[in-house]
Amino acid sequence: MLIDTSITVAYRCSSCGSFEFFSVSMFKLLHSEYSLACRCRKSCITMKREGGNSFLIRIPCIGCDNEHTYLFTRKSILFGEPVVFNCPETGIQMCFVGRDEAVCNKIDDLEKEFDKLLDTYGYESYFRNTRVMIDTLNRIHDIALCGNIICECGDADIGLVLLSDCILLRCGRCGGSTRIPAAKTSDLKKTLGMSHVLISRDAFRYREGLLTGQSGNKLGK
Ligand SMILES: [Zn+2]
Ligand SMILES: [Zn+2]
Ligand SMILES: [Zn+2]
């Protein structure tokens, strides 16, 4: 009987933000360390055996800029659902390890979310960076679910508009709004680090001129 001991690692690169897939032999992993670099060459994860049937995986995190270390067992990887590694700080799912099919299904689920958003907003090129937009949107939803999007005026009726490079949060009562940049991976990192969004009553707060009549130098900088 042939036993396939290869597993798939899907890693969301901490530098360029795209998913990179690696095929790893559990058998080889017993004897040697793996260092797996993203195709952008700017980040890599390492895997090695840590006694018995346990393995250590070290993942640079797109969410918080730290490196996280996790322990997993061979059994957990080869059977059932893939193991998902989340950032403990931001909750972002940054790595999936398991049988190839299971990992791919997991990624497909993420892509489905993607497609739903594209259906709603038309074509992919609408967004400066669709992946960053989706992750930002998910984070904003999480923050909203915790009741942590607040307007200075005290209203809870917050509306959300997706623009090509940012998410606009608008207060239904006072018209105050705030803009969450969502064009670059660095924008995403900032958003992942937020636990609250405070919408300012002052509608002329934008720095980049979405509205006219603003004064960008109010603070005298
Ligand atoms: Zn990369
Ligand atoms: Zn993290
Ligand atoms: Zn308000």
Residue partners of 147: CB distance under 8 A and separation at least 6: 156
pLDDT in tens, 65-109: 899 999 988 887 877 788 999 988 888 888 999 988 888 888 878
- The ligand with the least distance to the CA atom of 20 is 1
pLDDT of res. 121: 67
Which of 81, 112, 143 is the C-terminal boundary of a domain?
112
- The ligand with the least distance to the CA atom of 14 is 1
Q: Which domain range does residue 148 map to?
A: 123-199
- The ligand with the least distance to the CA atom of 155 is 3
- Whether residues 81 and 133 share a domain: the answer is no
Q: Residue by residue, what is the 3-state secondary structure of 101-166?
A: HHHHHHHHHHHHHHHHHHHHHCCHHHCCCHHHHHHHHHHHHHHHHCCCEEECCCCCCEEEEECCCE
- What is the tally of structural domains in the chain? 2
How many C-beta atoms lie closer than 10 Å to residue 135's C-beta? Answer: 26
Neighbours of ion ligand 3 (CB under 5 A): 151, 153, 155, 171, 173-174, 176
Which of 62, 78, 112 is the C-terminal boundary of a domain?
112
| 215, part of any domain | no
Neighbours of ion ligand 2 (CB under 5 A): 61, 63-64, 87, 89
- Whether residues 95 and 43 share a domain: the answer is yes
Residue 60 — very low, low, confident or very high, per pLDDT cuts 50/70/90?
A: very high
Which of 50, 82, 112 is the C-terminal boundary of a domain?
112
pLDDT of res. 220: 35
Give Cα separations from 147 to 156, 158, 159, 179 (angstroms).
9, 11, 14, 18
* Biggest distance spanned by C-alpha atoms of the chain: 75
